[in-house]
A and B are shown apart, each in its own frame.
Chain A
Amino acid sequence: MSRADVLAALEERAREVRARAAVRAWEYRQRHHAKGVWFRLRRLLAATASAWSLPEEEARRLVAEGYEAADVGALLEPPKLLVVVPEERLRAIAAREPVELRLGPELLAARCLALVPFRRAETPSTPGGAAAAGEAETG
């Protein structure tokens, strides 16, 4: 390979890195729009110790008790009911099924999910508390 070819290959790599930086800048500006929804969902799941699929009536009962549904769930299509609940409350629901915490088909197919936050996290998970993780649009 000639020296010119070597330099051309390196320049192409550098161009690709700079192009990705330009895309990132665009995505940053879009963070309040559709692109930002995925970040908010991932952020919410990152604060979650375990996820459980629930029948819709159980999920709605949790909301009625005051456990708040994360806003990001309503921004997905089809919408999801994502309720942040403590483990103690979840254990009282017999019809719960564990869901792997990954943006995979199983989690994306579930319509109603209970999300148990890490105990150390400051995410409020009591009735009336905000399902804050993933909801704060920061930066």
Chain B
Amino acid sequence: MIDFRSRLLATLHRLAPVFEEDGVMVVGSEVPNLLQPAAASTLVVSQDVDVGIPVDRLAAVKERLAGVEGLRPSPEEPSVWVPESPALLEVNFLGLDRATRGPADTYVLDDPELPLMVFGLLSLLEPGPRVDAAGLEVPLPRPAGLLLEKLATERSGEKGDRDLLVALGLLLVAAPADLGEAEQRYRSLDPELRQTIRSNLATLSLLEPRAEMPDPRPHRERVAALLDRLERHEVEQ
């Protein structure tokens, strides 16, 4: 049985050619894992890796994908690359468009080889520093933007709860400066998104623990502290 971290790192190494393209970054639930010391990957166990591609880099990324081995496009959904071995994870490619503002701007980027879902809220992500994952420099977003994106995304049910627990994972690895940055960026968001973020934080505080995800119960006070910080601005405004 191959452990999760080994599968994650092996998958990222296969994607190395794509990571050479400017603006490409890992954007999903794997980010908290990779921000842990030595990419320990103990926070969130997930069966896929989300990779964001700036829409204006799609042509260049497609060329680089030619150098990726061990993964191939799913016939049902070409933006999903499935592993040819159980030692790897599935990869989901998503479009990043800085021109979008929110979920209402979500669209499909039509491309004959790699059509992409472009989720409007992913425009909250900004490239951050690369982190070392077993010798590979992996591009990640700045934690503040990803934290806000996870909290602002409107989902329900199990998927929604897991997204909120990924946000908790980010909270656990975020530096004080990251939270300060999140607070600043929060102030620039539309009132609806701010309300969703606060509502989702309150929901996160009351979630049941789930296997292979961060347990929210010991961290409720941290969540409450972030809510207080964000609400301070609502009173000011």
Contact = CB atoms under 8 A, between A and B. Distances in A.
Interface of A: 1, 3, 6-7, 9-11, 13-14, 17-18, 20-25, 28, 31, 39, 42-43, 45-47, 49, 101-103, 118, 120-122, 136, 138-139
B206 A28 contact: no
Contact of A46 (B112, B194, B202): B202
Question: Which secondary structure dominates where chain B touches chain A?
Answer: helix
A6 B198 CA distance: 35
Interface string B70-82: 0000011111000
B199 interface: yes
Interface string B97-125: 00000111011101010010101100000
B117 to A, nearest CB: 6
Contacts of A42: 199, 202-203, 205-206
Given A17-B119, A43-B227, A46-B223, A24 B196 contact: yes
Interface residues of B, number: 43
Contacts of A46: 201-202, 205-206, 220, 223-224, 227
Interface stretch (B23-31, B137-145, B167-175, B228-236): B228-236
Contacts of A13: 117
Contact of A24 (B103, B110, B112, B231): B103
Interface of B: 75-79, 102-104, 106-108, 110, 112, 115, 117, 119-120, 154-155, 191-192, 194-196, 198-199, 201-203, 205-208, 220-221, 223-225, 227-228, 231, 234-235
5 contacts: A18-B106, A24-B192, A42-B205, A42-B206, A45-B205
Contacts of B225: 120-121
Contacts of B201: 46
A46 B231 CA distance: 13
Contact of A20 (B75, B79, B154, B207): B154
A68 B203 CA distance: 24
Given A11-B108, A39-B198, A43-B227, 4 more contacts: A17-B119, A21-B103, A21-B154, A101-B205
A20 B193 CA distance: 12
Contacts of B76: 1, 6, 9
A6 B154 contact: no
A122 B225 CA distance: 10
